[in-house]
Amino acid sequence: MKRDDCIFCKIANGEIPSRTLYEDETFRVILDLGPATKGHALMIPKDHADDLYDLPDQTASAALVLAKKMMLRMKDRLQCDGFNIVQNNGESAGQTVRHFHIHLIPRYVGDGQQIGWKVTNPSDEELNEIKDRITGE
């Protein structure tokens, strides 16, 4: 389902024009207007889902297959050296548009972008506690 107040619903369904790289029944892939690198694209499902928690399994599965297809094509056409696949869920994780999307970010040697995190140094106890919390009943 589409939401009237959602900009990515409008873009994905063609109500707002975008630089479309690919389209099928389920997804539209567009160029990001604030690209990290040359070719930075967004994969947007046509049906609204807030985030990955909210995305139907079938769409989630199809998304990774399409990401691979787009990456292969873009690698060939853009001659990029690497790729980051980024997918943010929730404000704390950097999600600014509350309609699920996947960033496809081509990387070039020396592009100067930083996509990553600061490494932390938890104790063995902390790591064990986290493991138990996730795996325990």
Alpha-carbon distance of 12 to 47, in angstroms, equals 8
Q: Which does 96 bind (CB under 5 to 8 A by kind): Zn ion, ligand AMP, none?
A: ligand AMP
Instruction: Note the helical H segments in the chain.
Output: 7-12, 57-78, 124-135
Q: Does 34 bind ligand AMP (CB under 6 A)?
A: yes
Q: Which structure tokens are listed for 107?
A: 């990387």
Q: Which one from 40, 48, 101, 103 is the annotated catalytic residue?
A: 101
Q: Binding-site residue total for ligand AMP (CB under 6 A)?
A: 12
Q: Quickly count: other Cβ atoms within 10 Å of residue 117's Cβ.
A: 6
Q: Does 95 bind ligand AMP (CB under 6 A)?
A: yes
Q: Which residues are catalytic?
A: 101
* Chain residues in the site for ligand AMP (CB under 6 A): 7, 18, 30, 32-34, 42, 88, 94-97
